[in-house]
Structure 1
Amino acid sequence: MSTETKVCTECGRELFGRSDKKFCSDACRSAFNNKALAGGDKYMRTVNRRLKKNHSILVQLNPDGKTTTHREKLLKAGFDFDYCTNTYTTKDQKEYRFCYDQGYLHLGNDFILLVKREPSPAG
């Protein structure tokens, strides 16, 4: 039998009770897990914030569901072309990029077609 004293993984206080115990309290367990998850959550919040901003810019510039705009107008509004939720490639290999239901297609000469995807009948 080991005489080594076990301590709380979070605060370092001595542990009593079960031999496989890692934390002295629910508060220490929760604090430890919150710290462990904080890095990934911060990244996801940053990505989600950029997607939401892109979506709102597309909604603002495309109130009628289909229009053409200039790339510079999107950039001035703060649009980030590196973030989208999905892509759709047509039969003739045109690639639409979407932020949820709002999409765009590069037309050339820095012009961009903005579109709104209509929900499918099933959902």
Structure 2
Amino acid sequence: MRGRTDKRFCSSRCRNLFNNKRKAGNRLLIRQINNALLRNLEILSALLAAEYHGIRLDRQQLAEKGFDFRYSTASRFSQRGNYYCFIYEYAYRILPDETIILLRCLRIPESI
């Protein structure tokens, strides 16, 4: 290597490759989560495309479409104590019988 005595990389290309690989680990997880959220959003928006208020469906139906229940953008308890998960402007609630109530919200309320 030529140049300064404390030089760590042989060229700018090597330095960029090293730093990109080092940062890729953190970004990969973020990218995977964002992709899952976007996939969930697409599924919910397709299901509620024709409905204004909301629909009811089986949890299995949503899972078969590729919905990932591990990721949501927010969650809230309603005033009645019901737990809702949000994917951006869509909210869903899983009932004890594995039925899902799916709603569209204009904003995420402080309480439902």
Normalised TM-score (structure 2): 0.83
State the partner residue of 2:12. 26
Q: CA offset at residue 44 of structure 1? A: 1.4
Structure 1 unaligned segments of length 5 or more: list them. 1-13
- Counterpart residue type for residue 33 of structure 2: V
- Cα pair 1:15 1:23 within 8 Å, conserved: no
Matched, 1:80 2:55: no
Matched, 1:49 2:39: no
State the partner residue of 1:89. 77
Q: CA offset at residue 62 of structure 1? A: 1.6
Measured in 1, the distance between the counterparts of 2:2 and 2:30 equals: 35
RMSD of aligned alpha carbons: 1.7
Q: CA offset at residue 21 of structure 1? A: 3.5
Q: Deviations over 1:69-122 (max 9, x none)?
A: 1111101111111111111211222111011111101123111110112048xx
Runs of at least 4 residues off by over 3 Å: none
- Counterpart residue type for residue 91 of structure 1: Q
- Counterpart residue type for residue 100 of structure 1: Y
Measured in 2, the distance between the counterparts of 1:21 and 1:99 equals: 48
* Structure 2 SS opposite 1:108: coil
Measured in 1, the distance between the counterparts of 2:80 and 2:96 equals: 16
- Counterpart residue type for residue 104 of structure 1: Y
Number of residue pairs matched by the alignment: 106
Q: Deviations over 1:26-55 (max 9, x none)?
A: 212211110101111221111111111111
- Counterpart residue type for residue 106 of structure 2: E
